[in-house]
Amino acid sequence: MSILDSFRIDGHVAVVTGSGKGIGRGIAIALAEAGANVVVAARRQADIDEVVGVIRAAGGRAIAVQTDVNEPGAIERLADAAVNEFGKLTIWVNNHGGNRDGKLIPLNEYEEAEMEWMLHFNFVTAWKGAKEAANRMPPGSSIINITSGAGMNAAPRTGAYGAAKAAMNNMTQTLAVELAAKRIRVNGVAPGPVPTEIFMKTFPLDAAGLAAMGERLAVGRLGTPEDIAACVLWLVSPAGSWVTGQTIAVNGGHVPGSMAVRHEENK
């Protein structure tokens, strides 16, 4: 088998939450292109139908399962849908998450109900997803948690989100150890700034503003869903089979303080 063949995931069955738009959409399409059957899950039916259409047009297999992860029983039904349709479940990607209505709130100004909602949506539902997936997975499967740099550093005005993602990072390490005996690998991917729908709602920048933000990263540009999808594919494929318990930052070189330094091309 060549090194390129080791990135194939033929025969796998993947569930990707929050995959109607943005990073999740990119991950679902990438996994399908690499050979997996994919369950595309998100709240908006039109969005997931579009993603399934793209996958099927390219010769892949996919189904759309409308899912609100906050609803009781929704995650269990999603996991069952994968097994019922494709006979098994071998890849689970916890991609859903974000804040509500693009709000930026200092931690000391959060209402308790809002904090509870943020932690439930961004962490508790991811734990449920990992739990339900692991209980159905055979050896050789993978769980991927899409976290954030906000969970690795101070996150001014997005502290609740950062706290939830920090919990996901710890969960990734813990589950990797606890599920090792079942030969289920667990890893995380922490994206840097990618101008998705929720990103643009939170940071409503014009084209010039986005370009300026990208120039402050070491590589000189903002990320794309495909940048994140490529890392996810590596982690779930045989090429990444010696990796577990890791959260990998895919962020254009964003480290604390780096966004304040403008990128300069080598001359």
**Catalytic site residues?**
161
Strands 13-17 and 91-94: parallel
* Angle (nearest 5°) at CA 246 between 68 and 169: 45
**How many beta carbons lie within 10 A of that of residue 165, not counting itself?**
26
Q: Where are the alpha helices (DSSP H) in 139-224?
A: 159-178, 197-202, 207-215
Number of H-type helices and E-type strands within the chain: 9, 7
Closest CA to 247 of 232, 229, 227: 232
- Cβ neighbours for 187, distance < 8 A, ≥ 6 positions apart: 142, 143, 144, 145, 172, 176, 235, 240, 243, 244, 245, 246, 247, 248
Spatial separation of the C-alpha atoms in residues 232 and 127, rounded to whole Å: 18
Query: What region, left, alpha or beta, does residue 59 occupy, with left being phi > 0 and alpha being psi -120 to 50 degrees?
Result: left
Spatial separation of the C-alpha atoms in residues 188 and 138, rounded to whole Å: 20
Per-residue exposure over 6-20, b if at least 16 CB sit within 10 Å of its own CB, e if not: ebbbeebbbbbbbbb
Contact call for residues 158 and 164 (beta carbons, < 8 A): no
Spatial separation of the C-alpha atoms in residues 233 and 224, rounded to whole Å: 15
